[in-house]
Structure 1
Amino acid sequence: MNLDNAVETHAQWKTKLRSAIVKQEKLDHACLSRDDCCELGQWLHGVGQQRYGRFASHAECVTQHRAFHREVAKVAMAVNAGRYEAAQELLASTSDYAKVSSELSVAFLRLRKEARI
């Protein structure tokens, strides 16, 4: 798995969520709330765990990835409930979503450095 692509894919979630707000689309909350449904989560809990689980930075990635999905799930719940303004606020630059998204990127940089990926 290319970690650059994985991090970029997660960064694109903000655009996807904003699009769902604008289009008032329903989101799959059950899947979005889980950290093992996406390609990155499957890698973290599978091959990534086998190869890099010994590194503290891997555990940090798992923790931050789980937190990221919790924040995505909050946005999905707001969108699905028709609370579009609240959903927008959950994506604001000062939101928990923004903080966790940034921390996830940093965690992957640490893993790449520590594991020499």
Structure 2
Amino acid sequence: MSWLDWLRKQATANDLGRQTPHPTTATASSAAEDHPSDLPTPEEGDVPSELAGLDFYSAIATHQRWKNRLKDVVRGQSQETLDPAVVGRCDVCTLGQWLTTQEGDLRIAPELMTRLKEEHAHFHKLAAEVIRLSDQGLHQQALDALRTDAPYNRCSHRVTKLLSQIYFELSEFHKPDSRS
């Protein structure tokens, strides 16, 4: 599957990673869908991953990797120290910084940007809560907060979906003029 096809799939998925056309027959997302390795690498000749000053591929991959980083920290399998006060800030990461520069971009539907800002902030709040639980020695509760059906995972899927939708909105402005 190409990166563009993967983005299309994400743009039409609901918040649990299911396709929206047949919600009654869809099943909950698998653990493989939570792993960043299901995000194909853009290939040469593929559509560009950077539009409007954001590398959408990197933004999506970075947010997908957070779950594994958090699990490794909670399980004591990482030397990384995460400060919940820093992780909880949505303006520190590349996506958060980009969002602050996009006020009034007429190429993006305002409701999409508002939803992305809200979901992105919520994502950081939930990630910080996982760290707080772990820091308090509540490791099982922290791991439960990372389960596929937990709010963190659903929020992560919504961030990916919104980024995919915004990518397609922006890409409409970068198409060659077909009237020539």
* TM-score with structure 2 setting the length: 0.59
Alignment of 1:110 with 2:168, yes or no, is no
Q: How far apart are 1:49 and its partner, in Å?
A: 3.2
| Cα deviation digits, residues 9-29 of structure 1 (max 9, x gap) | 010000100110111764211
Question: Which residue number corresponds to residue 46 of structure 2?
Answer: none
More helix by share: 1
Query: How much is the aligned-residue C-alpha RMSD, in angstroms?
Result: 1.9
Question: Which residue number corresponds to residue 85 of structure 1?
Answer: 140
Taking a change above 3 Å as real, the CA distance of residues 52 and 11 of structure 1, as seen in their structure-2 partners, is farther
Alignment of 1:49 with 2:103, yes or no, is yes
Taking a change above 3 Å as real, the CA distance of residues 103 and 62 of structure 1, as seen in their structure-2 partners, is same
| Cα deviation digits, residues 45-72 of structure 1 (max 9, x gap) | 12x3364685222222111101111110
CA contact (8 A) 1:68 1:100 kept: yes
Taking a change above 3 Å as real, the CA distance of residues 53 and 61 of structure 1, as seen in their structure-2 partners, is farther
Report which of the two structures shows the higher radius of gyration computed on alpha carbons: 2
**Partner of residue 118 from structure 2, selected from 44, 63, 66:** 63
Q: How far apart are 1:109 and its partner, in Å?
A: 1.1
Q: How far apart are 1:115 and its partner, in Å?
A: 2.2
Alignment length, in residue pairs? 116
**Partner of residue 35 from structure 1, selected from 90, 94, 103:** 90
CA contact (8 A) 2:108 2:166 kept: no
Greater Cα shift, 61-70 or 48-57: 48-57
Extract unaligned runs of 5+ from structure 2: 1-53, 175-180
State how far apart, in whole Å, the 2-side matches of 1:98 and 1:52 are: 30
* Percent identical residues: 26
State how far apart, in whole Å, the 1-side matches of 2:73 and 2:106 are: 35
Amino acid at match of 2:144: E
| Cα deviation digits, residues 33-88 of structure 1 (max 9, x gap) | 11101111111112x33646852222221111011111101101101111111100
Taking a change above 3 Å as real, the CA distance of residues 29 and 114 of structure 1, as seen in their structure-2 partners, is same
Extract unaligned runs of 5+ from structure 1: none
* TM-score with structure 1 setting the length: 0.88
State how far apart, in whole Å, the 2-side matches of 1:78 and 1:52 are: 41
